[in-house]
Structure 1
C-alpha cells in the first residue's frame, strides 16, 4: 500500500512539474509541437489520403512549429472534437488548438483557456438541398436543421429561432460527421455551421456538390481564434505574434519567395520583422529570425489563405472580412516599432 501511495505521489508531482513549466520550454525539450486540430472540412482542416493534415489550421500549427523549433514538420497533430477540445488543452495533452473555435467571453472565463488573436472572421450560415427551392432563410418555414451539439452553432441557432419566432426544427448530432451524414442522407433539410467550413464540407462530403446551396443569410458572428491555456501568457504571446507576423508580412509584400531578400532592402518595419533589428524575438523567448523562417517556409497570411481557401484552391472563397484592412477587410496587426 505504501509503495502504491508513493507511486501515485510521484506521478502527481510529474504532472504538476510539467504543467508549471512554460509551454515554450516543454515544446523545445520535446522537440515537437502538439497541435489539436479537428476535421473541419476541405480547406480548413482535413487529413489527406496519405495521412497528412492539410488546410488553413494545420498550416497555422506548422507556422508555430517553425517559429519555435525551426521545422514545419515538427508537429504532432492530435485530432480533437467539439466534445473534448477544451479538456485536452487543460489536461496538457496538447500545446495549442488550431480549429474553428469561436472566441467568446464565456469560454475564456469558464474553460481556463485564452484566445490569443482572431485568425479568421467567419459567420454562422446554413446549407440546404437545392431540391427544396429555398433561396433564403425566410423561406425555410418549419424545415429541419442539423447542427453539432455543444457548439456555438447550436446555441446561436436556438437563439436566432427564439429572437425571430422561426419555426425551424433543430436536430442535434454528437459530431460534425454525424450532422453532415444526417443532412446529406436527407434526415434534415438544412445544415448549420461556420460559413467557411460549409464550402469545404460541401466540396468534400456531398454526393454531388451542385445539389446543395449555401444560403446568403448569416445568423451569428464567429470570430475564430487559436486556443491556449490561460495560465501561460508567454506562450499566448508566441502564438499571437506568429499569426500577427503573417499579417504584417502580407501588408509589407513579404512572401515566401522574397523574404530573405527583403531582410536587407525592406523598410524599417520589414527589416525588424525579418530579424535585422537585434532583440526582435527576445521578449517572446525566440531568436531574431523566427518570423523570417515562418514566412520563408509557410508563407504570409495571404499565401496561406489563398492556397487553402481562396483563388489558388478548389474552393475559391473570396477574402471578404479576411482581407487586410487596406483591402476592405478586418485584418491588421499592431505596429512592430516602439
Structure 2
C-alpha cells in the first residue's frame, strides 16, 4: 500500500512538474495575447534607460526591449517599461511581473546558477571605475587609501569595491544607499570622497552633478561587468527569441544592413543577408516569429551599431568610444553566431 501511495504521489508530482514546464513555455503566447511586452528597466540611467518628461523611454537597454517588440508585433511601441531598483529587479523577473529584464545587470555565475534566470547575451561590455572631484588631486584609484566611497546596495559594485581595496591593502569607508539616485546625490553633496559604479554609469551619472566638469573618471577598471538582458530560465523558446534578437542586431551591423538601406538589402543576392532578412529559409519560424523578423527589427529600431551610436556613442551626450563593444571584425568583443 505504501509503495502504491508513493508511486501515486510521485506520478502526481511528475504531472505537476510537467504542467509547470508546459505553462512556462507560454511566455511568447502570453505576450501576444496581452498585446504588449512588459520590460524591466532602469528608472533613470542616461544612455541606457530613462524616460523623458512625457514618459518616452530611450536608451541602449530600451532599444533591446523595442527590438523584441518589433520582432513580435512589428511595432516597437508595444512595450510597457517598468522601472525597477537594483534590489527589486530580479524578484520582478522571477515573479513574472516582467517578461524581460534589460537593466544594466551584470552576468555572474551566482545569478546564472541560483536565481532561476538566464542571461541571453551581452549588450554592453563594461567594467567598474571611480569618479572623484578634480580638487581632490587624485589621479589613480590606488591613491584612495582611507577614502569614503559612495556606492549602491545590492549590486556587484559593492562586492567589487571590497575586493579591490582588500587586494591592494587599502583602507576605505563604504557609504551605501538603496538607489542610484540617492547615491549620486550623496556624492554631489560631499558625503563621500569618491563614487563608484560601472564606467558607463559614471559618465551617465556625471551629467546629473551640479558641476559635471569639476569631476574626473579615474583610469582604473577594476572588474568585468558583462551587462545583458535576462529572462526566466524555464522557457527555452522565449530565451532563444530574446537571444537571437540581440544576435540579429549584431549580424545586421556586421553585414551593413541599416535602417536606411534594409528595404534595398532585402533584394540582395548575398546568401548571408538573404538568410538574415528572411528571403531564404524560415529561420524566424524556429523561434516563433515571422520570416521577416530581422527586417522589422532593423527598420524600426536599427542595428546594434546604430543603437550604440545614438544612445551612448559619439552622437550622444555620453560620447563613449566603442572600445570593447566594437564588432569582433574591428577589434571588439561583440560577436554573433550566424543565421544559417
TM-score (norm 2): 0.92
Name 2:297's counterpart in structure 1: 294
CA distance in 2, matches of 1:279, 1:118: 26
Name 1:167's counterpart in structure 2: 171
**3-state SS of paired residue (2:224):** strand
1:220-235 residue pairs with structure 2 within 5 A? 220-235=223-238
CA distance in 1, matches of 2:258, 2:24: 37
4+ residue segments displaced more than 4 Å:
16-19
**3-state SS of paired residue (1:101):** coil
Structure 2 portions without partners, runs of 5+: 1-19
Name 1:10's counterpart in structure 2: none
Name 1:271's counterpart in structure 2: 274
> Given the alignment of the two structures, is residue 47 of structure 1 paired with residue 82 of structure 2, yes or no?
no
Name 2:216's counterpart in structure 1: 213
Question: Residue 95 of structure 1: which of 84, 96, 99 is its match?
Answer: 99
Residue 54 (structure 1) shift = 1.2
> Given the alignment of the two structures, is residue 116 of structure 1 paired with residue 120 of structure 2, yes or no?
yes
Residue 168 (structure 1) shift = 2.0
Pick closer, same or farther for the CA change 1:211–1:143 going to 2, 3 Å. Answer: same
CA distance in 2, matches of 1:213, 1:265: 47
> Given the alignment of the two structures, is residue 192 of structure 1 paired with residue 211 of structure 2, yes or no?
no
Residue 73 (structure 1) shift = 0.5
**3-state SS of paired residue (1:256):** coil
Name 1:65's counterpart in structure 2: 69
Residue 140 (structure 1) shift = 1.6
Name 1:182's counterpart in structure 2: 186
CA distance in 1, matches of 2:192, 2:269: 54
| Deviates most, 262-271 or 111-120 | 262-271
Pick closer, same or farther for the CA change 1:83–1:58 going to 2, 3 Å. Answer: same
**3-state SS of paired residue (2:55):** coil
| Deviates most, 148-157 or 21-30 | 21-30
Name 1:11's counterpart in structure 2: none
**3-state SS of paired residue (1:264):** coil
| Deviates most, 167-176 or 252-261 | 167-176
CA distance in 2, matches of 1:278, 1:25: 23
CA contact (8 A) 1:198 1:214 kept: yes
Pick closer, same or farther for the CA change 1:38–1:19 going to 2, 3 Å. Answer: farther
Structure 1 portions without partners, runs of 5+: 1-15
- Deviations 1:189-217 (CA, angstroms, capped at 9, x unpaired): 111101111111111x1111101111110
> Given the alignment of the two structures, is residue 323 of structure 1 paired with residue 326 of structure 2, yes or no?
yes
Residue 40 (structure 1) shift = 4.8
Name 1:202's counterpart in structure 2: 206
Pick closer, same or farther for the CA change 1:113–1:23 going to 2, 3 Å. Answer: same
Name 2:239's counterpart in structure 1: 236
TM-score (norm 1): 0.93
